[in-house]
């Protein structure tokens, strides 16, 4: 047992530097001292996870000591033949996926197992082969080491073996204190990457699996509902009464373009210096530019829920995947259909990925257009059809399928500005990441110009709104404002005049703001505000990721580390902002739990 303990613990300890070496580009400033600190601070969870792996061997050896005629080697070897590849697979998956996700492996990974082709679309077959070989190599090394240790087993000392039971229990529990083992035990730095590197990969995954979601129990900061409601008073529910309107017509055609990953780390009009979006930047000057818009969340599936239902992003769940709850949410497409619009959703990839197709139908879209509508030659890479192809299909559809006297609402989710950053026949910028955004920028420009020539400009409202920022450059994390600050632009012949609107807002506010301009009710959109209404008196924005809660108002910006429940700023104004942010998050989870 001691030898198995030492060997397993050594495996987990050696995983730390391997994890950090592979992900070294995330933070090039990490040095040798950080490697030692990560290893030291990660040791408690390594010990806990090691103890978990020893429960079955302890039982097997106890049986062997009580019944000496049994060959315990035959029972132990199969266990470690299973455990070795499992530990290897979890570690390799956590290590390689962290470079894409920037959070530790957890039960989120199982949201994508029903669509493996889409889940692996960001990487090449050679990359997957390398991962498979790494799993096989590590599993072979682990298995060989366990084989040697098991072969050396001494089946004596029953009393000593029984005394190991309380020791195993304490290691599994994480000590004798009030708190049990959790990821916070490995957190030690203000650098999220170092904290994540310190967390045991296997512990992260299986801890998540063992703590399935109970919305009523999550983020319940205030026992007194009156206190919680007082903190959020005036933030939500705005009536639409305005002194001005943005539109020349009460029922324009609407084309909503959700641009993958185009936040302040890519779009020039909100501060990016790389010159990847010249047409978008020009459109910000020619149209209506909401210059202070912030994303609600960090993943596309959550962002689409925010945009199309006015709901806020959840840090621990995707409502798109929770069909029974999603169907109770309001739907922008459903509201517009009631007002006489025809509704279509377009996506160049697998429409079943993250339950997207079902959600769009629940939202009220009449027709869903996905990768199956494109020919094999039009599917450019593993993600599906490139943006240029999708926009060509939309243009052709609009021109050949006119609905008599009915305005249309088309929503398109772009796909090309995403890993692996490959685009067809377009090479304006040397950096492949910048070039992919430049490609989508050009595709949107061409699409709008073609519709202008075809006569579909004058009565059309174009809305461009990204989902979130992309973790595309070193030193970015989900707590970085550059991944939250996004452009919202309205353009087309339906707008009255160009203007810049600097009002602080969220992407979830699009629903109420748009419906307010159309003169349609939006009382069911609980968390969406009409930011152009005189009733919008307390401008705020909130962003959630797996690890952070960010709250912004006129007094400043505050962030709460959700893992450690510690704010990044302890000033008085920051404390009030954090209290409001917690009250909003608790209200959101209470609402979701009731659905």
Q: How far is CA 118 from CA 276, 353, 383, 419, in A?
A: 26, 7, 6, 12
Backbone φ/ψ region at 405: left (φ over 0), alpha (ψ -120 to 50), beta: left
Residue 288 DSSP SS3: strand
Count CA within 13 A, CB hemisphere, residue 514: 31
| 226: number of Cβ within 10 Å | 8
Evaluate whether 386 touches 423 at the Cβ level (below 8 Å).
yes
Tell me the percentage of the chain whose pLDDT exceeds 70.
90
Instruction: Note the pTM of the prediction, 2 decimals.
Output: 0.80
Task: Kindly state the average pLDDT of the residues 541-547.
Answer: 93
Distance CA 502, CA 302 (A): 25
Task: Kindly state the average pLDDT of the residues 237-248.
Answer: 80
70: Cα separation from own chain's centroid: 50
Residues in CB range of 294: below 8 A, 6 or more apart: 484, 485, 486, 504, 505, 506, 507, 541, 542, 543, 552
Give me the residue label for tokens 């792996």: 53
Identity of the highest mean pLDDT range in 142-156, 187-201, 235-249: 235-249
- Whether domain 236-539 has CATH 3.40.720.10: yes
Give the least confident one: 189-193, 501-505, 571-575. Answer: 189-193
201: Cα separation from own chain's centroid: 19
| 42: number of Cβ within 10 Å | 26
pLDDT > 60? residue 87: yes
Top-confidence residue, 226 or 112: 226
- Max distance between CA atoms of the chain, in angstroms, equals 90
pLDDT > 80? residue 66: no
Give the ranges where 454-562 is alpha helix by DSSP (H). Answer: 510-517
pLDDT > 80? residue 155: no
Task: Kindly state the average pLDDT of the residues 338-362.
Answer: 89
| In the chain, where the domains are located | 2-210, 236-539
Phi, psi of 490 (to 5 degrees): -110, 135
CA pseudo-torsion sign 509, 513, 518, 519:
positive
Residue 528 DSSP SS3: coil
- Cross-strand bridge partners of residue 367: 344
Top-confidence residue, 210 or 550: 550
* Residue 171 pLDDT class (50, 70, 90 cuts): confident
What pLDDT is stored for residue 159 in this prediction?
58
| 53: number of Cβ within 10 Å | 20
Residues in CB range of 481: below 8 A, 6 or more apart: 264, 550, 557
What pLDDT is stored for residue 180 in this prediction?
63
Task: Kindly state the average pLDDT of the residues 542-548.
Answer: 92
């Amino acid at each position: 047992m001691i030898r198995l303990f030492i060997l397993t613990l050594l495996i987990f300890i050696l995983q730390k530097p391997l994890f950090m070496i592979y992900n070294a580009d995330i933070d090039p400033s990490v040095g040798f001292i950080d490697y030692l600190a990560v290893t030291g601070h990660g040791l408690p969870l390594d010990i806990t996870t090691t103890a978990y792996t020893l429960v079955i061997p302890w039982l097997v050896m106890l049986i062997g000591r009580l019944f000496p005629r049994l060959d315990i080697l035959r029972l132990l070897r199969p266990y470690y033949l299973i455990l070795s590849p499992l530990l290897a697979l979890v570690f390799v998956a956590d290590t390689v996926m962290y470079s894409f996700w920037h959070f530790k492996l957890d039960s989120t990974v199982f949201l994508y197992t029903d669509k493996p082709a889409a889940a692996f679309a960001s990487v090449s077959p050679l990359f997957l082969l390398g991962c498979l070989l790494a799993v096989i190599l590590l599993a072979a090394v682990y298995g060989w080491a366990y084989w040697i240790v098991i072969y050396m087993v001494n089946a004596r000392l029953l009393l000593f073996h029984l005394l190991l039971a309380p020791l195993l229990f304490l290691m599994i529990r994480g000590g004798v204190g009030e708190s049990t083992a959790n990821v916070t035990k490995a957190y030690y730095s203000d650098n999220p990457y170092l904290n994540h590197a310190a967390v045991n990969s296997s512990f992260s995954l299986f801890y998540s699996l063992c703590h399935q979601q109970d919305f009523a129990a999550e983020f319940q900061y205030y026992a007194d509902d009156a206190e919680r409601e007082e903190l959020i008073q005036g933030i939500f529910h705005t009536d639409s009464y305005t002194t001005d309107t943005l539109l020349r017509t009460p029922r324009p055609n609407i084309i909503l373009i959700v641009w993958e990953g185009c936040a302040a780390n890519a779009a020039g009009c909100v501060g990016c210096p790389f010159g990847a979006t010249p047409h978008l930047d020009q459109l910000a000057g020619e149209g209506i530019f909401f210059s202070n818009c912030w994303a609600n969340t960090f993943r596309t599936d959550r962002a689409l829920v925010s945009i199309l239902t006015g709901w806020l992003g959840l840090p621990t769940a995707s409502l798109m995947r929770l069909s029974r709850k999603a169907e109770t949410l309001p739907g922008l497409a459903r509201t517009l259909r009631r007002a006489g619009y025809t509704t279509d959703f377009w996506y160049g990839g697998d429409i079943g990925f993250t339950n997207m197709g079902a959600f769009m139908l629940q939202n009220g879209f009449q027709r869903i257009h996905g990768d199956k509508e494109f020919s094999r030659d039009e599917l450019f890479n593993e993600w599906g059809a490139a943006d240029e192809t999708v926009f060509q299909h939309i243009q052709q559809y609009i021109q050949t399928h006119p609905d008599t006297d009915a305005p249309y609402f088309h929503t398109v989710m772009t796909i090309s500005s995403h890993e692996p950053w490959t685009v067809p026949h377009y090479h304006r910028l040397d950096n492949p990441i910048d070039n992919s955004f430049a490609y989508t920028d050009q595709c949107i420009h061409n699409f709008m110009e073609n519709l202008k020539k075809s006569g579909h400009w004058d009565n059309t409202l174009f809305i461009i709104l990204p989902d979130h920022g992309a973790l595309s450059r070193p030193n970015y994390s989900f707590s970085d404002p550059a991944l939250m600050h996004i452009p919202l632009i309205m353009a087309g012949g339906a707008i009255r005049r160009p203007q810049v609107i600097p009002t602080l807002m969220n992407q979830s506010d699009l629903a109420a703001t748009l419906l307010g301009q159309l003169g349609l009710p939006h009382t069911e959109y609980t968390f969406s505000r009409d930011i152009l209404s005189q009733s919008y008196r307390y401008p705020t924005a909130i962003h959630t990721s797996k690890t952070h809660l960010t709250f912004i108002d006129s007094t400043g910006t505050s962030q709460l580390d959700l893992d450690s429940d510690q704010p990044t700023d302890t000033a008085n104004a920051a404390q009030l902002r954090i209290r409001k942010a917690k009250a909003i998050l608790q209200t959101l989870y209470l609402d979701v739990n009731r659905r």
